[in-house]
């Protein structure tokens, strides 16, 4: 199973291609976003994710097309840009969380152990 982070990463890569934005949105949904289950996401992203997914499946399709194609076809260029922006922003949030979770805890090693004693002596004077 692909992680939600990996799906968002791949969707973001799909969104930065040189094809028209509507084509990129359809590809990002079909190839990557459709795999994500809401419970795989941090709570703070679930509503935004649901909003994006609803906007990508909100229009009744015409014969020969699916609801994603129909929904994206009906979007203005600005709406398509906003949808893509939300996807990239969610990836950014998840990347920040992922990085913070994997960041090693730093241990401070004093190279000059006498400094605290010197500072304490100065403060007493």
Tens digit of each residue's pLDDT (9 = 90 or more) over 6-27: 999 999 999 999 999 999 999 9
- Sequence-distant (6+) residues with CB within 8 A of 8 are 32, 33, 36, 87, 90, 91, 94
Q: What's the rounded Cα separation, in Å, for the pair 34 and 23?
A: 16
Contact 8, 92 (CB under 8 A): no
Instruction: Give tens-digit pLDDT for 57-107.
Output: 999 999 999 999 999 999 999 999 999 999 999 999 998 876 655 555 545
Quick one: how far is CA 111 from the chain centroid?
40
19-58 pLDDT, tens digit each:
999 999 999 999 999 999 999 999 999 999 999 999 999 9
Domain residue ranges of the chain, discontinuous segments joined by +: 4-124
């Amino acid at each position: 199973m692909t992680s939600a982070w990996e799906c968002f990463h791949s969707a973001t890569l799909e969104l930065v291609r040189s094809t028209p934005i509507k084509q990129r949105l359809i590809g990002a949904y079909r190839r990557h976003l459709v795999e994500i289950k809401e419970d795989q996401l941090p709570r703070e992203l679930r509503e935004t994710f649901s909003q994006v997914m609803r906007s990508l499946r909100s229009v009744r399709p015409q014969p020969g097309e699916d609801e994603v194609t129909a929904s994206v076809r009906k979007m203005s260029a600005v709406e398509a840009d906003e949808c893509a922006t939300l996807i990239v922003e969610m990836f950014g949030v998840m990347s920040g969380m992922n990085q913070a979770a994997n960041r090693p805890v730093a241990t401070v090693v004093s190279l000059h152990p006498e400094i605290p004693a010197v500072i304490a002596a100065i403060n007493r004077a």
